[in-house]
């Protein structure tokens, strides 16, 4: 299975690059494709195959878009139906906006991972677990990750998180980045 992230935000933010690097370490460099990236940004994401074109322009077959608004839920049996799983490279808002609907690919099917919003790196990790044989109902989750900052401040990330060995699936690099309060 190949995992495609279609970058949909206006800029390639440092936060996006950290999430994309986390996705590369989750699925492997050879299994990650990032589309819709300006040529000037290609060398910033040298941990994947990168394209300036949109995913639709690549004209791929057996494609599934992961969308919280899809009618069907991704199932382990879908590993036989698809060669490519496509995700929106969207940092996400609270309350969530339905921007994944703008990710339209001819002939692609759509699947959800439940209705609640994951960060893109968590959505990929959950989909990978399902494609490897676990049903969504067999996975464990938590909500709203709190990152402690200096002097009693905190930042709450308003997403659903996959639990791995009882801990939220989050990139250590992202936690460090947030603690330094560098913004997006």
Ligand X SMILES: C[S@@+](CC[C@H](N)C(=O)[O-])C[C@H]1O[C@@H](n2cnc3c(N)ncnc32)[C@H](O)[C@@H]1O
Nearest to 33 by CA among 8, 14, 53, 50: 50
Figure out which of the listed residues 98, 149, 155, 163 binds ligand X, where binding follows CB under 6 A.
98
| 174 scored as a contact of ligand X (CB under 6 A) | no
Least Å distance, CB 130 to ligand X, is: 11
Please tell me the count of residues contacting ligand X according to CB under 6 A.
21
| 55 scored as a contact of ligand X (CB under 6 A) | no
| 157 scored as a contact of ligand X (CB under 6 A) | no
The one segment of 52-60, 97-105, 145-153, 171-179 that binds ligand X by CB under 6 A: 97-105
Q: Which of residues 101-120 bind ligand X (CB under 6 A)?
A: 112-114, 116-120
Six-digit token pair at 88? 């929106």
């Amino acid at each position: 299975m190949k995992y495609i992230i279609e970058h949909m935000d206006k800029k390639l933010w440092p936060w996006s690059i950290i999430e994309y690097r986390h996705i590369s370490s989750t699925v492997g460099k050879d299994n990650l494709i990032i589309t819709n990236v300006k040529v000037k940004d290609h060398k910033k994401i040298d941990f994947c195959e990168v394209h300036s074109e949109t995913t639709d322009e690549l004209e791929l077959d057996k494609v599934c878009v992961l969308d919280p608004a899809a009618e069907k839920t991704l199932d382990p049996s879908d590993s036989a139906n698809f060669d490519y799983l496509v995700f929106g490279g969207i940092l996400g808002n609270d309350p969530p906006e339905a921007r994944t609907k703008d990710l339209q690919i001819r002939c692609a099917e759509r699947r959800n991972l439940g209705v609640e919003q994951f960060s893109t790196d968590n959505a990929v990790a959950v989909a990978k677990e399902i494609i490897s044989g676990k049903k969504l109902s067999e996975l464990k989750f938590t909500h709203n990750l709190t990152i402690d900052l200096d002097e009693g401040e905190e930042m709450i990330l308003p997403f659903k998180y996959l639990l791995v060995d009882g801990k939220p699936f989050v990139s250590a690099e992202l936690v460090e980045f947030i603690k330094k309060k560098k913004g997006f």
